[in-house]
Amino acid sequence: MDLMNIRPWIFFYLICFVAMLLATTFIVQGISPLFWISSTLIIVVIGFNFILIFNEIKDHKKKKALMKQLTAGNSTENTKKNGQK
């Protein structure tokens, strides 16, 4: 199984985790004006994470298909050079 490079995302998810903790704290404290802001922040963070991960998986599949195509093309060229069919 080929794993994606997840290392650059660590800081992004740490920042999102802190934002979620802050929003949860505001909701639990029951501060009325911050309740709606916190709820919106949670929805935005979850939605943004979903979109980023979906795009990352889609790009990974494209790269994998391209690499498969390149290696398939390379193997046919090698067999032609060696005189094999």
**C-alpha span between 22 and 46 (Å, rounded):** 14
DSSP-based three-state secondary structure for 50: helix
Q: What is the pLDDT along the chain (85 residues), one digit of tens a residue?
A: 455 666 667 777 888 888 888 888 888 887 777 778 888 888 888 888 888 888 888 888 898 888 888 888 776 655 566 655 5
pLDDT at residue 81, as a whole number: 63
Check: CB of residue 37 under 8 Å from CB of residue 45. Answer: no
pLDDT at residue 1, as a whole number: 40
Token output for 68: 């498969």
- How buried is 81 (Cβ within 10 angstroms: 0-12 exposed, 13-18 middle, 19+ buried)? exposed
